Amino acid sequence: MQSADISPRMSQSDDITTVLERINRDEQGARDALIPLVEIELRAIAEAYMRRERVDHTLQATALMDDAFLKLLGDGANLTWESRTHFFRAAAKAMRHILIDHERGRRSAKRPPGRKRLSPDVLVDAVAAAPQVDLLALNEAIENLALLDPRQAEVVDLHHFGGYTLDETARMLGISLGAAKGEWAAAKAWLHRELSSGHHAAP
C-alpha cells in the first residue's frame, strides 16, 4: 500500500494547531495562513484517495483537495477545531464524502439507481481491494461501522483512504501501534462480512 510520508511535517503540528485556534476565534486571515501549512499533507491524502478510483475519474486530486478545504473551512463552515489531528481526520472523511457525492451524481446521470450485489470473494483482504468494490456499498458499510465502533471507522479513513501508515494512524488517534493493528484487522473482517453478506454484524 502506498503511504503518504508525513513524518517530516509532524514538526508543524504546533503551528497548525495554533492557526486552527485562531480560526476558532474567527480571526481575520487565519484561514489563509493555514493553507501553506496543510497543503502538502492534504494533497497526499487526496492522491491516496484518487489512486483507488477508476482511471477515467473526472475528479482530480487537486480538485478533491480544494473541495475538502472549502467544505471544512469555507463560508458557512462552523466546525470547531481541537488540533491538527482533528483537522486531518476530518479532511480524510470529507474527501470520502465528496467522492461518494460525485459517484452518486455520475450514476444518476447514467442510469436509474440500483445496488450491485457483491460476491463473497470481492474483498480478498477486505478494504485492500476497494477499487473493485461498489463505492456506495463500501461507504454505507463504513458509515454503519462508525455507528458501531467509531475508532475502527477512523482507522479505515486514515490508514486505507488517507494513506497513513498504521504507525502514523496510531499516533494521530493517540493509541498504540498494536491497538491500531488490532482495530484495522477487526475493521477489515467486519467490512468483509458486511459487504459479502449484506448483514449488519457487530465488529
171's grid cell: 499516533
CB 90 within 8 A of CB 105: no
The set of cell numbers assigned to 74 is 469555507
User: Which 8-state DSSP code applies to residue 117?
Assistant: P
pTM of the model: 0.66
Q: What is the largest CA-CA distance in the chain?
A: 53
29 within 8 A of 19, measured Cβ to Cβ: no
Coil vs helix vs strand at 4:
coil
Q: Which of 41-45, 57-61, 125-129 has the lowest mean pLDDT?
A: 125-129
What pLDDT is recorded for position 34?
92
pLDDT score, position 58:
65
Is the predicted pLDDT of residue 163 greater than 60, yes or no? yes
pLDDT tens digits, 165-203: 899 899 988 999 999 999 999 998 888 888 776 544 444
Report how far residue 16's alpha carbon sits from residue 86's, in angstroms, rounded to the nearest whole number. 11
Q: Compute the residue count for the chain.
A: 203
CA pair distance 73, 26, nearest whole angstrom: 11
CA–CA distance from 69 to each of 42, 64, 95, 117 (Å)? 9, 9, 9, 34
**First-to-last C-alpha distance (Å) of the chain:** 24
